Amino acid sequence: MVVLKGVPALLSPELLYALARMGHGDEIVLADANFPTSSLCQCGPTEIRADGLGIPQLLEAVLKLLPLDTYVESPAAVMELVPNDQARGLQTPVWRRYEYLLHEAGCTKSLEKVERFAFYERARKAFAVVATG
């Protein structure tokens, strides 16, 4: 196996291939272990496994290679908390980590929050969904 210089070792060949094939308007979902990746990808995006990795470390690696779309309102989105979790005051400190990583990659726009079922619909149209966890 050849090791490419400057390419984060945690990015699998399958993920690198997906990133290389993406074009204008394509989106990739970095999903946690509870996201319904396999069922959602049965009739849609490519499923890529990244078991054992967390979203923050994967996001950091992907941002080293993939330019963010500067022509959209926000080039990154998360699934918004459901109303019950919002009412309970559930905190999502990992979102601050995402924002930090995006800022380090040159993104000056806010992280978009997308309602749960709208996020699922958007993910169905993604180029690929990467299952982490």
pLDDT of residue 77 exceeding 90, the answer is: yes
Looking at residue 1, its pLDDT comes to: 55
**Which candidate in 17, 26, 32, 69 is catalytic?**
69
**Which candidate in 24, 32, 98, 100 is catalytic?**
24
Looking at residue 115, its pLDDT comes to: 98
Tell me what the mean pLDDT of segment 22-51 comes to: 96
Contacts of 29 (CB under 8 A, 6+ apart): 35, 45, 123, 126, 128, 129, 130
C-alpha to C-alpha distance for 128 and 133, rounded to whole angstroms: 16
Looking at residue 4, its pLDDT comes to: 78
Say if CB 9 and CB 109 are below 8 A apart. no
Report which of residues 130 and 70 the model is more confident about: 130
pLDDT of residue 15 exceeding 90, the answer is: yes
Looking at residue 2, its pLDDT comes to: 64
24 assigned to active site: yes
pLDDT grade, residue 129 (50/70/90)? very high
69 assigned to active site: yes
Looking at residue 128, its pLDDT comes to: 98
120 assigned to active site: yes
